[in-house]
Amino acid sequence: MLRVNNLTKKFGGLVAVSSVDLEVNEKEIVSLIGPNGAGKTTLFAMVAGFLKADEGEINFENASIVGMKPHQICQRGMVRTFQITQPFAGLTTLQNIMVGAYSNTPQTISARKKAEEVAEVVGMTSLLSQGADGLTVAGRKRLELARALATDPKLLLLDEVMAGLNPAEIDEIVKVIKGIRDRGVTIFLIEHVMKAVMNLSDRTYVLNDGKLIASGTPSSVAENPQVIEAYLGHGAAEAMAEGA
């Protein structure tokens, strides 16, 4: 569904993403992990059309999307969320989600209906009339997810939707994400919270200093000594084994 070849991005002297190849197939949940500053968000930004890649190919459903604008990519069925949440702060939760819903219908009534449905899916029904600027961190993360989902995407790019949440909140959102996959949406997510990734993803890519250093099933990646050494640091292997 999504195929990325030789994707590269430099910021001045810094190579943020370096010749990355990866693939996401339909109905999969694929995760991208790596330490802070590894280049994960930058990779998402290029895939979603927010940043121009210096080199490389990005194919979505067998067509190149290089050079397309974010809204065009969204209209083709791929939508991203933001790690640093970007709510429409002056609007209510409902209005926020409706903006996403409008991408498929010009009708206000059907956009509202769609938004209410999506709110149900992500568990925000009780917050619909609340102003987005008054949401908690967990609420904002959910709102990111809800808005994106309201566009009826085929592929959802989630950037650290679990960061900053407590374990109970994480369990809930993991359920929500699984539910979304079961409705037929493919999911590509960046995550830091290891336990959740282990539970959630079919396959995992590991990025370090802009380069892919491992890929495969979560458990095989977790056992990969290169990953443990270069990325997780000492003592993390046990922690991960416990988590998985």
Partner 1 sequence: MSNLRRHLAFLVLGALGLIILPYFISSRFYIDVLTLIFFTAYLGQSWNILGGYAGQFSFGGVMFFGTGAYVSSILLTTFGFPPIFGIFLAILGGAFLGLIVGYMSFRSGLKGSYFALITLAFAELLRVLANSVEFTGGGVGLFLTYAPGLSNLQFETPVGFYYFALVLMFISIAIVYWLEGSRFGAQLVAIRENEDAAEALGIDTLRCKIYAIMIMGAMGGAAGTFYSQKYLYLDPPIAYSIHLSVEMLLVTIVGGMGTIFGPLVGAFVLHTVNEVARHFIDTPGLSLIVYGLILIIIIGYLPNGLIGAFKKKEKKSGSNSLDKKRSREES
Q: Which residues bind ligand ADP (CB under 6 A)?
A: 11, 14, 16, 34, 36-42
128 counts as binding partner 1 under rule CB under 8 A: no
Residue 33 backbone phi and psi in degrees, to 5: -120, 170
Three-state secondary structure call for residue 87: coil
- Name every residue whose Cβ is closer than 8 Å to that of residue 230 and which is 6 or more positions away in sequence: 208, 213
As measured in angstroms, the least distance from the Cβ of 112 to partner 1 is 9
Which of the choices partner 1, Mg ion, ligand ADP, none does residue 37 contact, using the CB cut-off of 5 to 8 A by kind? ligand ADP
Q: Please give the radius of gyration of the chain, using alpha carbons only, rounded to the nearest integer.
A: 18
- Name every residue whose Cβ is closer than 8 Å to that of residue 168 and which is 6 or more positions away in sequence: none
Place of tokens 């001045």: 12
User: Contacting Mg ion (CB under 5 A), which of 83, 93, 186, 215?
Assistant: 83
Report how far residue 57's alpha carbon sits from residue 101's, in angstroms, rounded to the nearest whole number.
Answer: 30
Q: Which is nearer to ligand ADP, 36 or 62 (CB)?
A: 36
Q: Which is nearer to ligand ADP, 42 or 151 (CB)?
A: 42
Which of the choices Mg ion, partner 1, ligand ADP, none does residue 215 contact, using the CB cut-off of 5 to 8 A by kind? none
Which of the choices Mg ion, partner 1, ligand ADP, none does residue 218 contact, using the CB cut-off of 5 to 8 A by kind? none
Q: Which is nearer to partner 1, 85 or 201 (CB)?
A: 85
Residues numbered 44-63 forming contacts with partner 1, rule: CB under 8 A? 48, 50
Q: Going residue by residue from 38 to 57, which x/- string records binding to Mg ion, judged by CB under 5 A?
A: ---x----------------
Number of residues that bind partner 1 (CB under 8 A): 39
Q: Which two structure tokens, joined as six digits, stand for 5? A: 């070849």
Q: Going residue by residue from 183 to 202, which x/- string records binding to partner 1, judged by CB under 8 A?
A: --------------------
- What's at 142, amino acid-wise? R
Residue 80 backbone phi and psi in degrees, to 5: -110, 160
> Which is it for strands 186-190 and 29-33: parallel, antiparallel or unpaired?
parallel
Q: Are 47 and 79 in contact (CB under 8 A)?
A: no
As measured in angstroms, the least distance from the Cβ of 22 to ligand ADP is 14
Strand partners, 55: 8
